[in-house]
Structure 1
Amino acid sequence: MEEKLAKVDDVSQKSFDFVVVGGGVSGCTIASRLSENPNVSVALLEAGVSHFGDPLVSVPDGWMQQVFNPEYDWVFRTTTQDKVTNSVTTPSGGPDKSFYWSRGKGLGGGSSINFLFWTRPQREEIDAVEALGNAGWNWERFFEAAKRAESFHSTAVNNDPKFLELYSEKSVGHSGPVPISFCKTVSGAEWYFQKALEAHGVKTLEDGLGGSLSGTFKSTANIDPRTGMRSTAATSYLLPALDRPNLKVLTRAYVNRIVTKRDGDDTIGTGVEFEHDGREHIVHATKEVILCAGTVKSPHILEFSGIGNRKVLEPLGIPVQIDLPSVGENLQDHLIFTSCVFEMNNDHRFVTSETITLPEVQAQLRALYGENGIPISLACTGVTFLPLQLISDRVEELIESFEKRIQQKLVDLRPGLKDQYEQQLKMLRDKDVPDIEIVVFPVNVHPQGPPKPHVGLLPSIGRPFSRGSIHANSNDPKVQPTIEPNYLEEEIDLEILLESAKFVRKVTADGPWKDVSVAELIPGSSITTEEELREFVKSNVSTTWHSSGTCSLAPKDKGGVVDTHLKVYGTKNIRVADLSILPLLTVVHTQATTYGIAEQAIDIIKGDYGI
């Protein structure tokens, strides 16, 4: 398929109606949808390569070999995080309190490297976006747009029929570009965790995609069951569009900045400056420049285009076009407790990242599935989303403490942050709105000794109260920006993680889970008191690579970067249409949400131009 991609001369100094920056989930979606109209010309620029036909991308568990590989991964890195106590092991083997932020590099972006979860937010989370002053950004519109991206396919056979594949026909799309399904190979531990949860009052959901998430269920995945391969934005949206003469897709095109000019009080994007094979080029945009470079790179590119906080840009020698201090602010990221790990009983033939490579396990799975050439691979599918109200009796205590903190620092809060916190606290009080996730993770992140069935039960905080930022720190656009997530800056985040860890230990202490597990290896029996567990959580946290907020959708005086049409304030024709616009992070994995944002953006753009 490489021959169908554009050459630099097809793009450089050429004019297109729309220039899309970034070939990830949103970029592929928007470029494909816009080019459906033969009268609209589109150029898509991607810094990475295509990865078409690459087995590390197409095989579902190939992500384990992609991470930290700069051909597939941007390998971003945060600043040192003072509020955590863990020493993160770096790829070079040394300890550090910074975090590596893996992000997909190449066509397909994060859809090529993620853990394959296909989950949709809680209804109230999306309605909260509208309540922040964003008319039209509500659950109903999002839900219909999001379903348009997907095509659900049933799975003929799986290795654990007890772990039910439940869904509602009304809550999934049936004719969209992205094939989704229930993964056929699971660890086998998921059903036992479901039963353990049920014994503690957690219901198993019959519809995990319809906007009511409180409960436990088997997640769908971006896997095409007809081939067993990963469905990416590149293969699903872009590949079928490559023959269109009005679409040019250029890879290895590193975007430096948006080229702008002034029109009265407004700024107009006239094109995009990019580097290809060591040379700088410009592609011209006659209608719009659409940024789809993600939570890290979209604000970074805006800043290099002179759109951002004057106090950030002027010291770097970047000419200020629009003084917009909200660019790069409001960063939020899911934080997960990584070390609640169990050794499982060998008698139950659990399939984990360690045991799936064993010849006897491979033989058992091939006997079940047949020799049809479809690869045997493992994906995570066991998800549970729970309100803090269900698992802890400390909710009101935590809310009251945080409200006092808000009052103490009210004058220092960024514009709009108090409104965000009010929405978060409203959801925290709601007994039907989940606040945390627990993932059944059959991948051993603490390998030691011979292969054994190890399974993690990993809780994460869904809507963190801590806020960070992403900003340029050099006048060289190839220097990675400063990523400051401020993990655990707000104490309530740590306490929610602590309550989640306590709940996991409670659920696994007896009954269905204890019957099939040998021991809790980590934290282990030496961690007994609440204070010991709190300190252990602080020393064993990680990002889940689900950041948002740096180009927030909000009124300008409330910290917004883009308006309800996703146009950057102060510009006539520069939009941002990726996860960075989400002003409040939602509790779920963000892949399906990003497709939904892109599809909703297409509705807006087509409506604005009548195309």
Structure 2
Amino acid sequence: MLYIRGNRRDFDQWESFGNPGWGYRDILYYFKKSEDQRNPYLAKDKIYHQTGGYLTIQDAPYNTPLGVAFLEAGQEMGYDILDVNGAQQTGFAFYQYTMRRATRCSAAKAFIRPIRLRPNFHLALWTHVTRVLIDPATKRAYGVEFIREGKRQVVYARKEVILSAGAINSPQLLMLSGIGPKEHLQEVGVPVLYNSPGVGQNLQDHIAVGGLVFLIDQPISIVMNRLVNINSALRYAITEDGPLTSSVGLEAVGFISTKYANASDDWPDIEFMITSSSTNSDGGTHVKNAHGLSDAFYNEVFSEINNRDVFGVFPMMLRPMSRGFIKLRSSNPLHYPLMYHNYLTHPHDVNVMREGVKAAIAFGQTSSMRRFGARFHGKPLPNCKHLPLFTDEYWNCAIRQYTMTIYHMSCTAKMGPATDPMAVVDPQLRVYGVKGLRVIDASIMPTITNGNINAPVMMIAEKGSDMIKQQWMRRKRRTYGSGNFSVAA
């Protein structure tokens, strides 16, 4: 639900890699094309925002008293309060959400519901795609094979196949279809149709440090056993307001630059995800599962503050240098792929994360937060007790023990020019080596964007759909103009 477009330098960098049309001046149009901005103070900025699109954007209808304090704390640290999707990213703001009338405005609600009755649209649920059908002689994609209700079925394409299965499944399907690193495909017994060494490589993700919890003395944070009740439910149902509209307490965002970033560039390297709840706020069960924590770890570190009033800061590293990869487990399309994330394998990432943690501790010590009695819950992590608390060595250990994915997997079928041997798709998102096949999803990113990737993926889809229309409309005009009235295939 978090609507963060990223930084203009992300997209200018994509263009500098040899991807014309993907610079910020070009892609801003596609962010705005989707947008129906419901916040008047943002909608009036016609340079960066627009109303009337399919995707509704708004601020949360509900904020705790901590929300404004978060922004004031950012100001104390020397940062501006601003629109992080506008002219400048470095600074603090309330989150913007893909939300409509207090509920999630998902991609399905925004883009599929309005066109679901069109005669040329069909959505098949509970369907597992197993491969793209490609003619081995012509190297042209002509359909898709899938399993539905236990039966193998096939759908054919007259023009092209669009693969939008995400940064994990798109490279998996490419490899199952014979497009990928030759040696790996041969190893798992998939016939090689085109040797594309970049498929599944270049895996990037955003990770954040968990467990940075600050106790407060006032009963104002999002504590689930206090706020999930009949009064909150009625408020949500009748007035579309109240704590149940909160996105797990995420109220404010801060983009900051550590000493490893050039602060004058407005290209921050840490995002603070600031919450009026934290690791201990729901009794532990959901957090333990979501964060992969053992009972022993959770009980030792957080049980003593279970369901106390707190706020949390999750420092998220924006531009990791570590790279992972995805492989096929086997040639069976029902087997999950193997993912090797290689988090924190580059020392630069550890350094940036450590400085992000130290900045988060400083954030909690500002006078804006201290007026709520804020103090850091500094219980040593189990495997780091042997190190002096709050030293660089301790934080390096803590980072490796309690760092979590934010589920922004991307970049595994990257876009690039034909001269780049690791590029999987060209700047029109067409797969190299195969005709009639495009990939349009997070996997085509050359590098991950500066922030949560919800909005950039929708931008990629908007731009990709325009590319498809432009290609086939041009071809149709050429066909009719020549006197040949057959439909172009």
Which TM bucket (shorter chain)?
0.7 to 0.9
d(CA) in 1 for partners of 2:395, 2:463: 43
List alignment gaps of at least 5 residues for structure 2.
285-302, 382-387, 475-489
- Aligned to 2:246, which of 370, 378, 384? 378
- What is the aligned counterpart of 1:498 among 343, 347, 354? 354
Letter in 2 for 1:452: R
Q: Secondary structure at the match of 2:172?
A: helix
Among 168, 179, 191, the residue aligned to 1:307: 179
Distance 2:326 2:359 in 1: 33
What SS class does the counterpart of residue 247 from structure 1 fall into? coil
Which residue of structure 2 aligns with residue 208 of structure 1? 84
Distance in 2 (alpha carbons) for counterparts of 1:595 and 1:151: 13
SS at structure 2 position matched to 1:181:
strand
2:405 match: 543
Task: Name the residue aligned to 1:65.
Answer: none
Structure 1 length as normaliser, TM-score?
A: 0.69
Cα distance in 1 for residues equivalent to 2:361 and 2:65: 19
Q: Does 1:223 align with 2:73?
A: no
- 1:589 has 2:452 as partner: yes
Which residue in 2 is equivalent to 1:351? 222
Aligned with 2:435 (options 568, 572, 580): 572
Alpha-carbon deviation of 1:602? Answer: 1.2
Aligned residues of 1:166 and 1:217 also touching (Cα < 8 A):
no
Alignment partner of 2:135 out of 261, 266, 269: 261
Cα deviation, 1:12-58, whole Å, max 9, x if unaligned, reads xxxxxxxxxxxxxxxxxxxxxxxxxxxxxxxxxxxxxxxxxxxxxxx
CA contact (8 A) 2:43 2:49 kept: no
Aligned to 1:451: 307
Structure 1: distance between partners of 2:10 and 2:225:
37
Aligned AA (1:290): I
Which of residues 161, 180, 183 in structure 1 aligns to 2:57? 180
Deviation at 1:430, TM superposition (A): 4.9
Partner Cα separation in structure 2 for residue 192 and residue 429 of structure 1: 24
Aligned to 1:56: none
Q: Distance in 2 between matches of 1:381 and 1:168?
A: 22
Q: Aligned partners of 1:438 and 1:429: how far apart in 2? A: 16
How many Å separate the matches in 2 of 1:483 and 1:241? Answer: 35
Give the alignment partner of residue 297 of structure 1, picking from 139, 152, 169: 169
Q: Secondary structure at the match of 1:250?
A: coil
Aligned residues of 2:425 and 2:444 also touching (Cα < 8 A)? yes
- Find the aligned partners of 1:385 and 1:518 in 2 and give their Cα distance: 21
| Counterpart code for 2:459 | G
Q: Name the CA distance, whole Å, in 2 between partners of 1:171 and 1:285.
A: 37
Name the CA distance, whole Å, in 2 between partners of 1:429 and 1:466.
22
Counterpart of 1:434 in structure 2 is 268
Q: Residues 248-297 of structure 1, C-alpha deviation per residue, up to 9 Å, x if partnerless?
A: 11111100000111455xx1001000001111011001100100000000
Question: Aligned pair in 2 of structure 1 residues 476, 262: CA closer, same or farther (>3 Å)?
Answer: closer
Q: How far 1:445 sits from its partner (Å)?
A: 2.3
Other-structure match for 1:554:
416
Secondary structure in 2 aligned to 1:346? coil
CA shift for structure 1 position 117: 0.6
CA–CA separation in structure 1 for the residues paired with 2:366 and 2:121: 58
Among candidates 355, 375, 385, match of residue 519 of structure 1: 375
Q: CA deviation at 1:506?
A: 1.9
Match of 1:272 in 2: 144
Contact kept in structure 1, 2:62 and 2:241, CA below 8 Å: no
**Corresponding residue to 2:317 among 440, 443, 461:** 461
Cα pair 1:219 1:381 within 8 Å, conserved: yes
Deviation of 1:453 (Å): 2.0
In structure 1, list runs of 5 or more residues that go unmatched. Answer: 1-115, 156-163, 396-426
Match of 1:534 among 393, 396, 405: 396
Distance 1:188 1:574 in 2: 51
